[in-house]
Amino acid sequence: MYLKEYLEQFGDKKIKLFVDMDGVVADYIFGSAQDYDKKRPLYDNIDKLEIVSEMPNVEMFIFSATRYSSGFAQKHWWLDTYAPFFKKENRIIISREDNEMRDSSILKAEYLANYERDGSILILIDDDPKNLKDVRKMNEDIILLKDTVLVDDTARKLKNRINDGKDTKVYIKKLEK
């Protein structure tokens, strides 16, 4: 399984893995933002993340933004139902409403920029190129992974090397042009 193999290359170094929610573990398209209980779980990704969550050196976080603070309860309910291995204390959900409705990408980038470094390898999995781009601008040290890295067979068939931190940087640079 691809993500696990990728993480194993770091040996027993401590890894903190920040996982976006919409488009990575929950279907982004199906159901509106206000109907979170109808969001379809992306079981393939969830299964792979659950396996990774059992690696002793990996600490996993949900890293999500919500338009309104009312989204907190819905997102917690959804995670309790479909991906309970994301511990409550490891769910970072940022409300745009509480932050002058600023862009999710900027709020995520700032959160990570202020996140205390303790020597762990920091990795973000996010499906939104804008999030990856803004996080990169403020966080040179974070490894960025597109959600496709979770889908092992496809990534392998396409010889998709986006999983590599260095290559992802190239990808981000292309976006900035």
Contact positions vs Mg ion (CB under 5 A): 20, 22-23, 127-128
CB of 173 to Mg ion, least distance (A): 21
CB of 56 to Mg ion, least distance (A): 28
Q: List 59's β-bridge partners, or say none.
A: 16
Q: List 22's β-bridge partners, or say none.
A: 26
Of 127 and 134, nearer to Mg ion (C-beta) is 127
Q: How far is CA 105 from CA 8, 60, 64, 73, 141, in A?
A: 28, 20, 10, 22, 17
Contact by Cβ (8 Å): 27, 41: yes
Residue with the CB atom nearest Mg ion in the bound state:
23
Of 15 and 24, nearer to Mg ion (C-beta) is 24
Of 129 and 165, nearer to Mg ion (C-beta) is 129
CB of 57 to Mg ion, least distance (A): 25
Contact by Cβ (8 Å): 47, 152: no
Q: How far is CA 134 from CA 29, 107, 130, 175, in A?
A: 23, 9, 6, 11
Of 20 and 134, nearer to Mg ion (C-beta) is 20
Of 5 and 44, nearer to Mg ion (C-beta) is 44
Residue 11, phi then psi, degrees to nearest 5? 65, -135
CB of 9 to Mg ion, least distance (A): 25
- The residue behind tokens 């194993």 is 8
CB of 22 to Mg ion, least distance (A): 4
